[in-house]
Structure 1
Amino acid sequence: FGSRDRRRGTEGGLACSQRASRSLAGRPHIAKEVNIEFEAYSISDNDYDGIKKLLQQLFLKAPVNTAELTDLLIQQNHIGSVIKQTNVSEDSDDDDADEDEIFGFISLLNLTERKGTQCAEQIKELVLSFCEKNCEKSVVEQLDKLLNDTTKPVGFLLSERFINVPPQIALPMHQQLQKELVESHKTNKPCGKCSFYLLISKTFVEAGKSNSKKKWSNQKDELMFVNAEEEFFYEKAVLKFNYSVQEESDTCLGGRWSFDDIPMKPLRTVMLIPDSKMSEIMDKLKYHLSI
């Protein structure tokens, strides 16, 4: 990855292949392999619609002001990246191809710094309310304490992309974000290093499985991650729980939630990861996702 403006390209491009699609979405019926090259750019005003769309994909009908959240991410564009297709040609087969179309993004909102903004408060309220419904009281108290401890900043980590973008792209994106957070901390810019990272993952589980509090609290084997790499974050989380979003969406970006024709139940998995574990996670990403 190079300069800030067109700063991060994926070396040699990435193939949206049958294998990658299977690992991300459990949709192995895709037989055609399409080679698409992506590059990563600094976040800009032009990315507003694309980022907001991806945020809505994450939050669905949850009461979170995605417009304000998008604005904040654009304002602090010294951190974060958007993924765009490399060199969209004028004679592209896709009539809708747009050089400004984003296929994914990564950024972080420091919930401690942004305390008082509507979206930051709504995100905290959202995870606490679902924690109360799905976890033991001690877990709720732990989460509430961590979210409100101003001496230990909590960053809301956002890594969203369309389902046909393979997980290999996550490695350089996360590596670059970590570098930017360190640099931001050194130069006293907003959104420096955090003590904890809050992540809300898009996951799913086989329909009909028990959703008891105990079973859902720490059952990784049954969980499938839409962003495959987020399983490594899950493994290092000090606090984790799931909540169902089945009533809000029964489709997976245009396709039914199914895996080998087995109906799946869409969830969101909330996890809190200590900063001290991030280097281990980055090592795992490097080992599993290096091209």
Structure 2
Amino acid sequence: MGKKRTRDAEAQDPTVEKMEVDGESSDDDDFDIVNVDFEWFNFDPQIDFHGVKSLLRQLLDVDSQLFDLSAIADLIVEQKTIGSTVKVDDQANDAYAFLTVLNLAEHAEKKAVADLVQYLVEKCKTADSLAPVSEVLTAKKPVGLIFAERLINMPPEIVPPMYTMLLDEVEAAVEDKEPYEFSHYLIISKTYNEVESTLTEGERKKKKAKDDSLFFFHPEDEVFQKHATAHGGYQFTKEDESVADSKRAFQEMGVKTHGSMILIEASKFPGAVKAVAQYLSPQ
């Protein structure tokens, strides 16, 4: 599954990567098996803009309204040989998942990127553990900002091929003298904790946190943190108390989301990707 995808768009086989996943749903002794073929594609600006923008909105959560998502989505889909989308049935469909990396130094003069970097620098001030991230960003080092998001019910097994292909594509781009030689990779993601939620006569009441345990939306983030120079979480700027109910994931519980950053030195990133593959490989 981790085969290198061609960087020549004209020679690309649209089914170059496939994964078949069995999904089961059980009711007593009855169960159904659904076979789903996931396919990996390069970005196509004519097809992927809206799907990527929607997933960016999900990734950046309530703070997505602070950014020019259209401009960021444009930058992503224009990188036709860097990154992947995951789809079902046909390339013309919206992406169920995507992964890519943007060179922050290369795009530093673009307002959408500058606004996002400034936001991340400000969030770093809220947690001591994120101080090294701020230092790297303000020093304007060649940082690769990784965007990775997928629909919530996507199997995590799709992740290792995406990262493996990204490494191959970045290596090929560097060989071609393209601006993808990074000092660090910065992954922006999300965590959450469960909260109790009470709805009385249609009005939302105060939510009480169940505990301080944080959970990962992306299980690979737990592995990446073990290889990180720095990592930490932060509160969203637009956070409000209604968020927990709108994102209820359990019958009695809601979820409160938090932003997350993981900074990994470029030299350690291949090892981190290998560890993710081992962690998420089907048993």
TM-score (norm 2): 0.79
- The one-letter amino acid of 1:9's match is E
Q: Deviations over 1:177-235 (max 9, x none)?
A: 01000111111123x13111111112102332677xxxxxxxxxx32111111211122
Query: Residues 10 and 231 from structure 1, CA distance in 2 versus in 1: closer, same or farther, beyond 3 angstroms?
Result: farther
Question: Shift in Å at residue 261 of structure 1?
Answer: 3.6
**CA–CA distance in 1 between the matches of 2:216 and 2:271?**
19
Aligned to 1:68: 71
Kept in 2: contact 1:16–1:166 (CA 8 A): no
1:125 aligned to which of 90, 107, 118: 118
Structure 2: 5+ residue stretches without partners: 7-11, 196-208
Q: Are 1:135 and 2:127 matched, yes or no?
A: yes
The correspondence for 1:202, drawn from 190, 213, 232, is 190
1:7 shift after superposition: 5.2
Q: Which residues in structure 2 correspond to 1:146-225 (within 5 Å)?
A: 146-150=136-140, 152-190=141-179, 192-207=180-195, 208=209, 222-225=213-216
Counterpart amino acid of residue 181 in structure 1: V
CA 1:268–1:248 in 2, change beyond 3 Å: closer, same or farther?
Answer: farther
- Say what the alpha-carbon RMSD is for the aligned residues: 2.7
CA separation of 1:155 and 1:256: change in aligned 2, threshold 3 A: same
* Cα distance in structure 2, aligned partners of 1:210 and 1:289: 27
Note if contact 1:85-1:99 (Cα within 8 Å) is conserved in structure 2. no
Paired residues of 2:224 and 2:276 also in contact (CA < 8 A): no
Cα contact 1:60–1:248 (8 A) shared by 2: no
Distance 1:256 1:54 in 2: 16
For residues 118 and 33 of structure 2, the distance between their equivalents in structure 1, rounded to whole angstroms, comes to 42
Count of residue correspondences: 252
Unaligned runs of 5+ in 1: 20-30, 88-97, 212-221
Tell me the residue number matched to 2:9: none
DSSP 3-state at the match of 1:257 = coil
Match of 1:266 among 240, 257, 267: 257
Aligned to 2:235: 244
> Equivalent residue for 1:10?
18
Counterpart Cα distance in 2 of 1:286 and 1:168: 8
Q: Percent identity?
A: 27
SS at structure 1 position matched to 2:96: strand
Q: Which runs of 4+ in 1 moved over 6 A?
A: none
Could you say which residue in structure 2 is the equivalent of 1:53? 54
1:82 paired residue among 82, 85, 96: 85
